[in-house]
Structure 1
């Protein structure tokens, strides 16, 4: 068995197929072009421009690729202590297949904008990708955590506090912290920061709004606050991100 690697990101083109095998690290398979029929632990799915997959460490899997294809592959250590958002990894391990949302597309495109995928802060990118891929709770879609997440999504452009989110979810602030730790492997504040960053990247990519307007819509106090947040989380400024996207 291989030793679990540190987080590693690479592009890959698969051959016709692969016999059933397993590896000692988690793997996220993000399609960029083409399709792949894959079986993970006895569950089958079709990966393409609509769906991606999470292969848990130790899970037996096999695949059959179709025609020309291109995938972004993220290898993650098995030890949750080495990966931010371990709770979200547990959620992905239960789901296995998840939709490729516009927010995930933007994170993938951001990574591919760097030569050899050498991101300024890969750990932050991995954490944001995992949180974006597994934001919900299938076990309790109408529960307090789902209510908290829905309130955050609906009010990203407003001054949100943990107290306000807890009230919307119908639980105490302490209960909210426990819920986010158990369900998503993060804190309400960190989750909110990631969702705001994802909203800002979405607007930078899809709109012609000024950076100041985008900062306001994503819930930042001003353009400087947005710039600091993106630099801290992804190592890029809003202006640089938009210029990189325009060149692609």
Structure 2
């Protein structure tokens, strides 16, 4: 399915020196990277690497001890219309099971001062038009993932930040999502995807950011990583294993 999207004015995400400690332990330690417009960036790292905390700092959900994250030069908390700038899907579980998919989206649209007509538009974009009047409690995990993406798309944002968006999708859905996100980025938008599925990231991303134990260990294009290591999976394990050996 082709997606018609207008180009963004400034969809660059800049992370500079983000640091966060809990109990005296740095879970994110002086992390800096950029998510460039027109690209899909894979945000990778083992469990406990600090990815979720970093994403939450970008979105203003966690206050950093040091550092700054901006979208188009502005911190998330200072965005005038955040849903129209950043679309977020960090989990696919925050749905009321008794509401329909359409009602869920209409509530979020109203909260963001967006027209209710956007609900039907994004349902169609994610392939849920026929399920919009069904209660979310009857949705499969893959359908809830699509609904989470639809919620992120309500404001037609310049930036998408997604955590494990392919989780629960069948092979056809994974191919659809890959095409959708590539076309979204091709329209000048920025896409940041956190995932553990390295084989899928190999086929999706243009750029890669890898964290390990709270620190940035590599930021590169996929072509650069492939040239150095052969493929993304090999690069990931070689880089993280070397860090374990040095620890």
TM-score range, shorter chain: under 0.3
Greater RCO, CA 8 A, separation 6+: 2
